Amino acid sequence: MLTLSPVDAALKALAEPRRREILRLVWNDELPAAQIAARFHDVTRSAVSQHLAVLREAALVTERRDGTRRLYRADHAQMDRLRQFLDEYWTGSLQRLQDLAESAEREKGKH
């Protein structure tokens, strides 16, 4: 079985719109799973639990137990690492594009 890198796991988790919405809900507040599930009228509680598990496995949310409740909060440190990766990826891509354009321009000037 192929193991995803932390970045790949995070990107795969974020590809699902409901997971992104769950992440928004727990961005600033720690919320119990039941309260998160109550926000989704078109999805079962079981499906929301599965989404939370994917987010937790991708380290995008943390889970804390309080008695029988499970409380979730966005993991800002992991989100910062993901943002840094994307910034570097984007910047590197733009730099490669600029290098190619400048190289093509130099070649064009030689002819």
pLDDT score at 2: 60
Is the confidence at residue 71, as pLDDT, over 70? yes
In a domain, 74, yes or no: yes
Provide the pairing of β-strand 31-32 with 69-74.
Answer: antiparallel
pLDDT score at 90: 74
Note the pTM of the prediction, 2 decimals.
0.76
Domain that residue 81 falls in: 6-110
Q: What is the CATH number of the domain that holds 87?
A: 1.10.10.10
- What is the distance between the alpha carbons of residues 76 and 61, in angstroms, rounded to a whole number? 8
Q: State the total domains in the chain.
A: 1
In this predicted model, what pLDDT tens digit does every residue of 11-27 receive, in sequence order? 999 999 999 999 999 99
CB 19 within 8 Å of CB 40: no
In a domain, 1, yes or no: no
In this predicted model, what pLDDT tens digit does every residue of 78-103 receive, in sequence order? 999 888 888 887 776 667 777 677 77
CB 9 within 8 Å of CB 58: yes
- Looking at every residue in the chain, the average pLDDT score rounds to 88
For tokens 């974020």, name the residue. 14
Query: Exposed (0-12), middle (13-18) or buried (19+): which is 33, by Cβ within 10 Å?
Result: middle
